[in-house]
Structure 1
Amino acid sequence: MLNEEKWHVLQVKPRSEKKVGQRLRDLGFESCVPTQKQLRKWSDRKKMVEMVLFNNYVFVATDQKHRNEVYQVGNVFGYLSFSGKAAILSDKEVKMIKQLCRLIEPVQISYDGIKVGDEVEVIAGTLMGISGKVIALNGTSKLQLALPSLHCFAHVELKEVEVRKVVRSAEG
């Protein structure tokens, strides 16, 4: 279908993610600006602050017909693309991104290459059913959740009892 809505990634001006997301919603688009409350420390104080998880990105559902209307909101550089092909998120990736916002544990997004590690599936909690790779960051075990359409990963600290190792057969 030509006019089927798909989730796209907009590159936006730094620190304008929330404003762009709201303006898109005002125009009738479904948009998502993943945020999470995180504790920030300064030399004189600590404060819970709502942090944008994907700096300079806003996720928007649009079809081919309305694709260019997103530029009306301002502060939009364009659609994220890799090798000339627009980054389109799968339903599974959109669901994962929305779930990341509900986590209490701090989420950190990295844009590094794929790392080799144990593949695990989350068997308890908000992210139940999602698979990822176990990695070590700063000496702590974290789960790396791949977002292939964005060429990035979300790193979430989970308890060992919340994940189970996925065993692949040697033939597969």
Structure 2
Amino acid sequence: MEHFSLCLNSYRSHHRIAEIQPGSATNRLQSTDSQRLSVVLYGTDQRRQTRLTETIDPILQELVPGDDGQQWYVFRSRPRCEKKAAEHFADMGMRHYLPLREQVSRRKGRRFSSMLPLFSGYLFGCSDLGQRLSAMRGGHLSQWLEVIDQQTLLAELRNIHVATQHGTGVELYPQLRRGTWVRVVRGPLAGVRGRISRREKRYRIVLDLTALQSAMAVEVEMQDVEIDDLAVSSSH
């Protein structure tokens, strides 16, 4: 099983997830046969996220609504330029986020680890129009994508960050079948809601990133999960 991690301001590349139709720099993301890491999940509990943002994680402190005139956008980088684009954002003093995953390989008996972008060719930044135009002139980006639902984007990015930093891989309760809605009630993932994506020796729940038509999986302790009656009732 492949494990993923996210980190701010550390960058490498991999995994194509979606494509953008050619046109203006503000084209909306178009859905393709997106490469999904598993099924679908939803945002974390807002109170939990707020507490984490205020007291714990500097990355979560970045993932908050923009100031006046600023919004979060999805930026598409030129090939293998995700890290350079993020470094340019940092030099500009622009809030940004590049989700990463760890890739481990072995060569001649030695173990090598590298951090690769979770969504190849994409990173996220909070800017006004002037900052976006300046960022585009840096030569590392090809276009930006408008995100209408800012709250959902930020909730999903926080969800992915928290889950991938603290997720573990063990079995869930036997009565939790594939497709069952669950909520994490204890531990570092408390507040994360989702549904079981598969049932083998282990269960996985999945974090959705709607803006890129993609998702990623995370595993949780079985004693930390219960059926999410609220999600089940709202789905009917």
Query: CA contact under 8 A between 2:88 and 2:135: conserved in structure 1?
Result: no
What secondary structure sits across from 2:156 in the alignment? helix
- Provide the rounded CA distance (Å) in 1 between the counterparts of 2:141 and 2:131: 15
SS in 2 for 1:128: coil
- Structure 1 partner of 2:157: 94
Amino acid at match of 1:87: V
State the distance in 2 between where 1:105 and 1:50 align.
Answer: 19
119, 132, 143: which one pairs with 1:54? 119
Distance 1:132 1:14, change over 3 A: farther
Residue from 127, 150, 160 that aligns with 2:212: 150
Partner residue, 1:39: 104
5+ long unaligned stretches in structure 2? 1-66, 170-177
Determine if contact 1:123/1:164 at 8 Å carries over to the other structure: yes
Structure 1: gaps (5+ residues): 81-85, 107-115
Higher relative strand content: 1
- The structure, 1 or 2, with the larger RCO (C-alpha pairs under 8 Å, 6+ apart) is 2
1:84-163 alignment runs, 5 A limit: 86-88=146-148, 89-90=150-151, 91-100=154-163, 102-103=165-166, 117-136=179-198, 140-163=202-225
Identity value in percent: 24
Cα distance in 2 for residues equivalent to 1:171 and 1:10: 32
The amino acid of 2:155's aligned partner reads: K
**How many residues are matched?**
157
Is the contact between residue 3 and residue 65 of structure 1 (CA under 8 Å) also seen in structure 2? no
Deviations 1:33-74 (A, max 9, x none): 122444333464322322322221111011244332220222
| 1:73 match: secondary structure | coil
Q: Quick one: which amino acid aligns to residue 131 of structure 1?
A: R
**Which region of structure 1 is more displaced relative to structure 2, 51-60 or 137-146?**
137-146
Deviations 1:74-105 (A, max 9, x none): 2211113xxxxx23542312322432453465
Cα distance in structure 2, aligned partners of 1:78 and 1:28: 20
Matched AA of 1:132: G
Residues 1:20 and 2:76 are matched in the alignment: no
Distance 2:164 2:135 in 1: 23
- The normalised TM-score by structure 1 is 0.74
- Normalized per residue, the structure richer in helix is 2
Q: CA RMSD in A?
A: 3.0
